[in-house]
Amino acid sequence: MRRVAITGLGVVSPLGNGAQNFFDRLVQGHSGVTRLPEDFNPRLLSRVVAPASFDGAVHFGAARLRMLDRVSQFALVAAAEAIADAGALFERDDRATTGVFVGTGMGGAHSTDEGYQTVYGEQSDRVKPFAVLMAMNNAAAAWIGIDHQLLGPNLTYSTACSSSAVAIGEAWKRIATGDLNVMIAGGSEAPLTFGTLKAWEALRTLAVEDPDDVSTSCKPFAKNRSGLVLGEGAAMVVLESWERAESRGARIHAELAGYGLSMDAEHITRPTVAGQACAMTRALESARMSAGEVGYVNAHGTATMANDAVETAAIKQVFGPGAYALPVSSTKSMHGHLLGAAGALELAATVLAIEKRVLPPTLHLVHADPECDLDYVVASARPVSTLTAAISNSFAFGGTNVSLVCRAVL
């Protein structure tokens, strides 16, 4: 297996755009969680969300915008940043073999919502002519390939909340096995539409608004956690074979060292300790890394009752007694749950934590849950003197679990 370098990062997030800006705000402990505006459909009862501050018109002309669902806009902006961040990525003109793997759970949800509103809500036949092209799940990946003339495999993965972690893991595998040398991988999600939010509300899994401060409503690992907060955004990484990255003198953020994939195969929503532990174990095995080398876990940490307790137990199973000394944080407390883009965004946080040797915190964890008894980097970021490896978890409805392992550049 070949080593894989992460040479580019791009982020559109509820904490702002740009990977470095995103990480700075994580470390500063900002929350992107807020309440929907008063004029958003009042029939929606669960109104706590984590929106991205993003205006497509800043990035695209009017004609282009009419073809791009918000999910594709996010993806294109994040991909462009990642490619620029990688610096002279295509100076050898090997775009012909560069692939694009993108994860999304809900694809062009805005376009789907709008189309249904037209035909069912308004009883009108004036469906926008590009509704199909905007709503299709592979639009984001396709546009990245088109805009950057990348002729390699162009695939879209949809495994709910682990979609982009799968996309990045599968891209890692393509490079590690020698199939390809460069991949653009990540995820995008734009689920903050009335229809999508209403569907999530019906599932009764969204966070209850904190009565004192809406921005603290997402409380991973806390006893009074009440559910997840839906967020929107995208994150993309540039992956290269280590040899290629070194030979062109690229700045390497970190090594993407391993990828573990497992399936619960038990229940459509309820996670299992065995399934989550299996993903982490497989990731460590593929990285040829011992559990003791890991210095930080960026948890899936959704703030649902089920996930956080199960993930805590799974971490203990994998790391043994050492789990209690292992810092674990859920950055979802600040950026919410980006569903299909969550894994990519949290990998970006993990990579930058390694690079800058600062662990982003878990916010709003005031009331401890006896079932969640690890070191969750509570309240504020923690500088560390050494951090050689970290793991990022992404688990999903449906049961597809992913862990990605990163190693510092030494």
Partner 1 sequence: MSVEADTTFERLRQILAKEFEVAPELIHPAARMDQLAIDSLAVIEVIFQLEDEFNISFPQRPGELQTVGDLASCVDRLTAEQHARGSSGAAAP
**Catalytic site residues?**
161, 300, 337
Which residues in 360-379 contact partner 1 (CB under 8 A)?
A: none
Q: Tell me which H or E stretch contains 195.
A: helix 194-202
Residue 66 vs 251, nearer CB to partner 1: 66
Q: Is 372:308 a contact under the CB 8 Å cutoff?
A: yes
Number of residues that make up the chain: 410
58 scored as a contact of partner 1 (CB under 8 A): no
Residue 58 vs 63, nearer CB to partner 1: 63
Nearest approach, Cβ of residue 110 and partner 1 (Å): 17
Give 180's DSSP letter.
Answer: -
- DSSP result, 261-319: EEE--S-SS---HHHHHHHHHHHHHHTT--GGG--EEE------HHHHHHHHHHHHHHH
Q: Which of 58, 62, 96, 410 binds partner 1 (CB under 8 A)?
A: 62
Q: Is 113:193 a contact under the CB 8 Å cutoff?
A: yes
Rg of the Cα trace of the chain? 20
126 scored as a contact of partner 1 (CB under 8 A): yes
Residue 61 vs 249, nearer CB to partner 1: 61
Q: Which of 37, 42, 61, 211 binds partner 1 (CB under 8 A)?
A: 61
- DSSP result, 384-401: -S---EEEEEE--TTSEE
Residue 126 vs 204, nearer CB to partner 1: 126
* β 254-263/4-13 pair status: antiparallel
Residue 63 vs 96, nearer CB to partner 1: 63
Residue 88 vs 132, nearer CB to partner 1: 132
Nearest approach, Cβ of residue 125 and partner 1 (Å): 9
Binding to partner 1 by CB under 8 A, coded x per residue (else -) over 306-335, reads ------------------------------
Q: Which of 121, 129, 320, 383 binds partner 1 (CB under 8 A)?
A: 129
Helix intervals (H) in 303-365? 305-319, 332-335, 342-356
Contact window for partner 1 (CB under 8 A) among 62-70, 89-97, 172-180, 339-347: 62-70
Residue 235 token pair: 């994150």
Residue 90 token pair: 């295509």
Residue 314 token pair: 């799974």
Nearest approach, Cβ of residue 66 and partner 1 (Å): 6
Residue 139 vs 363, nearer CB to partner 1: 139
Q: Which of 60, 116, 130, 194 binds partner 1 (CB under 8 A)?
A: 130
Q: Which of 30, 59, 128, 198 binds partner 1 (CB under 8 A)?
A: 128
Residue 132 vs 199, nearer CB to partner 1: 132
Cα–Cα dist 217/25, whole Å? 18
Q: Is 187:104 a contact under the CB 8 Å cutoff?
A: yes
Q: Is 371:312 a contact under the CB 8 Å cutoff?
A: yes
Contact window for partner 1 (CB under 8 A) among 60-68, 137-145, 229-237, 269-277: 60-68
Contact window for partner 1 (CB under 8 A) among 84-92, 125-133, 141-149, 280-288: 125-133
CA 326 to chain centre: 22
198 scored as a contact of partner 1 (CB under 8 A): no
Contact window for partner 1 (CB under 8 A) among 22-30, 55-63, 83-91, 114-122: 55-63
63 scored as a contact of partner 1 (CB under 8 A): yes
Binding to partner 1 by CB under 8 A, coded x per residue (else -) over 66-105, reads x---------------------------------------
# residues near partner 1 by CB under 8 A = 8
Cα–Cα dist 355/7, whole Å? 12
- Looking from the CA of 49 toward its CB, the CA atoms found within 13 Å total 26
Q: 36-59: buried (b, 16+ CB within 10 Å) or exposed (e) per residue?
A: beeeeeeeeebbbbbbbebebeeb
249 scored as a contact of partner 1 (CB under 8 A): no
Q: Which residues bind partner 1 (CB under 8 A)?
A: 61-63, 66, 126, 128-130
